[in-house]
C-alpha cells in the first residue's frame, strides 16, 4: 500500500481551509502518542486479549499522561474557528485538558475524571464532590451504592461514574449534539478509531450520507475504509499537526482572514 503523507497533508490542509462546518471524531488511537495503549491496534488491549496475551504496557505512568501534538492541533483548529464540534469515544480526559471547550465536546463514552447525577444528569469533577476512588470505588452504574458516598450537590441524587460501560446508555444530550453535527458537517476528521463500536461509529456514516468529506486516519482497517473520501494509513501525529499548521498559514495569508 503506497504511503503518500505529503500529499495527504496538503489535501487535509486545503480541505480544512475550505471547510465551513468541520467536525472531529476521535478514538483511542489519538492518545497512543501520549503513552496510553489503544484497544484494537496491532498491540491493543483487545487485540492482545484475543491472542491470549497479557495487557500492553503503558509507556508513561498514568499520573504523567499529557495531551500530545494531535490533541493540541485540534485545539489550534478551535482557536482558528475552524472546528465546530469534537466527538470522542475516549474517557481519558485529554481533550478537556488540552483546551477543547466543553461546549464543543461530546464524550460519548464518558470521562474517567467526572461523575454524573442519575437524578438531574449534572456532571462534576471527582474532586469537586470529594469522590475518593480508594474509598468509594469507581462508582459504576452496576455497582451498589456505598453508604456515605458523595451525593449530587444540586438535587441530592446518586452520583455514578460518567464512563459508559458495555450495556449502559449513551449520554443523550451529548449524543443529540454529536448526531446533529455529524449530519451538518462538510468535513469530518476521523482520527484513531477502529469504528467497530456502535452507535458511535454510525456517526461517520451519517456524515458520509450527508455528503461530507471524510478523512479517516488510522493504522488498522475499519469498516468505513471504502467510503472515506481520504484514507490515510499513517500515524495521526504524522499528518494532522502538520496539516493544521499548513492550514493556519494559508488562513493567515487570506485578506482579512476571509
| 176 torsion bin: left (phi>0), alpha (psi -120 to 50), beta (else) | alpha
Q: Which of 21, 71, 95, 109 is catalytic?
A: 109
Q: DSSP character for 36?
A: -
Burial of 154 (0-12, 13-18, 19+ CB in 10 A): exposed
Q: What cell was used for 233? A: 494509513
Length of the chain: 258
Number of other CB atoms surrounding residue 230 within 10 Å: 15
Q: Please confirm, yes or no, whether 71 is among the known catalytic residues.
A: no
> In sequence order, what are the beta bridge partners of 160?
116
Buried b (16+ CB within 10 A) or exposed e, 15-51: bbbebeebbbbbbbbbbbbbbbbbbbbeebbebbeee
Catalytic residues: 109
Amino acid at each position: 500500500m503506497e504511503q503518500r503523507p505529503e500529499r495527504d497533508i496538503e489535501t487535509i490542509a486545503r480541505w480544512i481551509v475550505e471547510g465551513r462546518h468541520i467536525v472531529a471524531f476521535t478514538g483511542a488511537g489519538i492518545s497512543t502518542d501520549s503513552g496510553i495503549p489503544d484497544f484494537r491496534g496491532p498491540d491493543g488491549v483487545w487485540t492482545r486479549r484475543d491472542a491470549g496475551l497479557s495487557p500492553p504496557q503503558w509507556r508513561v505512568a498514568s499520573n504523567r499522561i499529557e495531551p500530545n501534538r494531535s490533541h493540541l492541533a485540534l485545539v489550534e483548529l478551535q482557536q482558528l474557528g475552524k472546528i465546530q464540534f469534537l466527538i470522542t469515544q475516549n474517557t481519558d480526559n485529554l481533550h478537556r485538558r488540552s483546551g477543547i471547550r466543553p461546549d464543543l465536546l461530546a464524550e460519548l463514552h464518558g470521562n474517567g475524571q467526572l461523575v454524573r447525577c442519575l437524578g438531574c444528569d449534572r456532571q462534576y469533577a471527582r474532586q469537586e464532590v470529594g469522590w475518593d476512588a480508594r474509598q468509594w470505588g469507581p462508582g459504576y452504574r452496576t455497582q451498589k451504592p456505598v453508604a456515605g458516598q458523595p451525593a449530587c450537590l444540586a438535587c441530592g441524587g446518586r452520583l455514578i461514574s460518567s464512563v459508559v460501560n458495555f450495556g449502559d446508555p449513551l449520554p443523550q444530550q451529548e449524543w443529540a449534539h454529536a448526531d446533529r453535527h455529524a449530519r451538518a458537517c462538510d468535513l469530518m476528521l476521523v482520527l484513531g478509531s477502529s469504528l467497530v463500536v456502535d452507535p458511535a461509529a454510525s456517526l461517520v456514516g451519517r456524515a458520509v450520507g450527508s455528503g461530507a468529506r471524510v478523512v479517516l486516519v488510522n493504522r488498522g482497517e475499519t469498516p468505513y475504509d471504502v467510503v472515506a473520501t481520504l484514507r490515510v494509513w499513517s500515524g495521526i501525529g504524522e499528518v494532522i499537526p502538520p496539516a493544521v499548521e499548513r492550514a493556519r498559514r494559508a488562513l493567515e495569508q487570506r485578506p482579512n482572514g476571509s
